[in-house]
Amino acid sequence: MTILVTGGAGFIGSNFVLDWFAGHDEPVVNLDLLTYAGNLQNLQSVATDPRYRFVRGDIGDNDLVARLLRESAPRAVINFAAESHVDRSITGPEAFVQTNMVGTFRLLEAVRHWDGRTPEFRFLHVSTDEVYGTLEPDDPAFSEVSRIAPNSPYSASKAASDHLVRSYFHTYDLPVLISNCSNNYGPFQFPEKLVPLCIHNALAGKALPIYGDGLQIRDWLYVGDHCSALRAVLDRGLPGEVYNVGGGNEKTNLDTVRTICTTLDKEVPRDDGAHYADQMTFVRDRPGHDRRYAVNSAKIQRELGWSPTESFQSGFEKTVQWYLSNRDWTDQVTSGAYRDWVEAQYA
């Protein structure tokens, strides 16, 4: 058997592929367009593994996806491919509509029209808690029946894709599963996102930008725990169901950045004896910035027996350590050296 992963060269997708091979012999086909967020270096350790095949391409390319389905006859498609950065969705929403909505639609169509599906086949769509919008301080955490109320072009495009996926279950009997996960952190995250951005800027002596008052709350989950949740959903989830995945770690952005700074103070003290937190700089808030996310994971814990293994403290220490030990990874991504290589490689 084989699984077809899309967007497997991105942050969560590459962690998923590496975790998968740590526990399975089942082959993986990775279909990724290698946008700015995709990085084959993340998967260098498995690049020549006979169980692994990389294909550069678009989930919206019907002919390509149809061919890959015929060739590899996967028992599951796991859709990670997306435009994923809220700030980019504000300055350029079109790419989000194109990949997250149109791309997911075409992927669903290719799967629907593929006649090689076995009864065990599953389509797992990886989505976000951001589709539920924002919470007031005393609201209960998002559950699977919370109202869908996205506030950014990113979350709106993900919500639209979730709706399409759901409709293919009800209309075409496609055995779909949807997971809505909270903010992830861990190795291989593109340094435009809060955690790697702060680590990178702190070490480079640059400002650590904090939007607005920094009191926006996010529910943090270590990426490895997200991967184990996805495996649980794939193995034991019921077709047509939605599973929320969260870390139970509600922290303000200020607290998160302070945790990074104190860990860095311990690991790599600044030469001048000052604290990395001194580099924090408040900047104008993001338009439509959601105030609070919190995810109720009771359903996946109860029905699928999943629970996270990393605490906020242990996960962040591990993550900071990883970025400290892999500075060349961040340097390559930020210097554009990796992008130049991709352009030359696939010219």
Ligand X SMILES: NC(=O)c1ccc[n+]([C@@H]2O[C@H](COP(=O)([O-])OP(=O)(O)OC[C@H]3O[C@@H](n4cnc5c(N)ncnc54)[C@H](O)[C@@H]3O)[C@@H](O)[C@H]2O)c1
- 84 vs 263, beta carbon nearer ligand X: 84
Active-site annotation holder among 32, 129, 225, 310 = 129
Binding ligand X (rule: CB under 6 A), the pick from 4, 5, 6, 160 is: 6
Active-site annotation holder among 32, 58, 83, 130 = 130
- 10 vs 214, beta carbon nearer ligand X: 10
If one asks whether residue 32 binds ligand X (CB under 6 A), the answer comes out as: yes
If one asks whether residue 12 binds ligand X (CB under 6 A), the answer comes out as: yes
Residues 123-182 that bind ligand X (CB under 6 A): 126-128, 158, 181
Binding ligand X (rule: CB under 6 A), the pick from 11, 20, 123, 168 is: 11
Coil vs helix vs strand at 313:
helix
**Cα–Cα distance measured from residue 8 to residue 52, given in angstroms and rounded to the nearest whole number:** 11
**Dihedral pair phi/psi, residue 154, rounded to 5°:** -60, -55
**Cα–Cα distance measured from residue 40 to residue 30, given in angstroms and rounded to the nearest whole number:** 11
Cβ–Cβ < 8 Å for 138, 195: no
- 96 vs 276, beta carbon nearer ligand X: 96
C-alpha angle 292-296-299 in degrees, rounded to nearest 5: 160
Residue pointed to by tokens 């008052």: 213
Measuring CA to CA, how many Å separate 133 from each of 35, 243, 290, 345? 26, 17, 7, 40
154 is catalytic: yes
Dihedral sign, Cα of residue 66, residue 68, residue 72, residue 77? negative
- Tell me which stretch binds ligand X (CB under 6 A): 26-34, 115-123, 278-286, 308-316: 26-34
Residue 317: CB minimum distance to ligand X, A: 19
If one asks whether residue 38 binds ligand X (CB under 6 A), the answer comes out as: yes
Helix axes 312-325, 253-267, angle to 10 degrees: 50
- Tell me which stretch binds ligand X (CB under 6 A): 54-62, 114-122, 274-282, 338-346: 54-62
Binding mask 77-116 for ligand X (x = CB under 6 A): ---xxx-x--------------x---x-------------
Active-site annotation holder among 154, 185, 276, 338 = 154
- Tally DSSP H helices, then E strands, for the chain: 13, 12
E strands, 135-188, where?
Answer: 176-181, 183-185
**Cα–Cα distance measured from residue 220 to residue 316, given in angstroms and rounded to the nearest whole number:** 10
Residues 208-247 that bind ligand X (CB under 6 A): none
If one asks whether residue 35 binds ligand X (CB under 6 A), the answer comes out as: yes
**Dihedral pair phi/psi, residue 78, rounded to 5°:** -120, 115
Residue 269: CB minimum distance to ligand X, A: 29
Binding ligand X (rule: CB under 6 A), the pick from 28, 46, 59, 304 is: 59
**Dihedral pair phi/psi, residue 73, rounded to 5°:** 40, 60
If one asks whether residue 183 binds ligand X (CB under 6 A), the answer comes out as: yes
User: Token pair of 240, please?
Assistant: 């047509």
303 is catalytic: no
Active site members: 129-130, 154
Interface contacts to ligand X, rule CB under 6 A = 6-7, 9-13, 31-35, 37-38, 58-60, 80-82, 84, 99, 103, 126-128, 158, 181, 183-184, 190
